[in-house]
Amino acid sequence: MKRHGILNSHISKVLTDLGHTDSIVIADAGLPIPAHVPRIDLALTLGVPSFEDVVKAVSDDLVVEHVILASEIQEKNVKTLQYLNQTFSDRDIEFVSHEQFKELTKHAKAVIRTGEATPYANCILKAGVIF
């Protein structure tokens, strides 16, 4: 058994396989997931696990170079936006419309679905490199 990092084997494999600029999505319970993109469904009940818990675990294990958010989060979910700004304070954060965000999910290597039940609690994380 692993001593540190993500224990979920599906998430661990996806993160290990990511190359520079590949992306993954961490999604709330309601984000539509394209049929061809692998879904890692962690949702147990509304709110469990939380978006923040999953972002924390993934960002501790992944070199994140760029973050994409739906611009609607700025008005509809200030608390989550503050968390993301704090978590990724030294990374480039880009805002796109929610419709554009959903289009970008089509290019993700995987979508990790949380139990989050607050609006626009979704992010696209682009992988960086360790050197």
9-127 classified as CATH 3.40.1650.10: yes
122 annotated as a binding-site residue: yes
Residue 10 marked as a ligand binder: no
List the catalytic residue out of 20, 36, 66, 107: 20
Q: Is 120 annotated as a binding residue?
A: yes
Question: What is the per-residue pLDDT for 3?
Answer: 81
pTM of structure? 0.97
Cβ–Cβ under 8 Å, residues 122 and 52 = no
What is the pLDDT, as a whole number, of residue 72? Answer: 98
- Which of 40-70 are b and which e, b meaning 16 or more Cβ less than 10 Å from the residue's Cβ? bebbeeeeebbbbebbebbbeebbbebbbbb
Angle (CA) 129-13-5 rounded to 5° is 75
Q: Give the DSSP letter of residue 129.
A: -
- Per the annotation, the verdict on 20 as an active-site residue is yes
Q: What is the mean pLDDT of each run of 10 residues along the chain (131 residues)?
A: 89 97 98 98 98 98 97 98 97 97 98 98 97 91
Domain ranges of the chain: 9-127
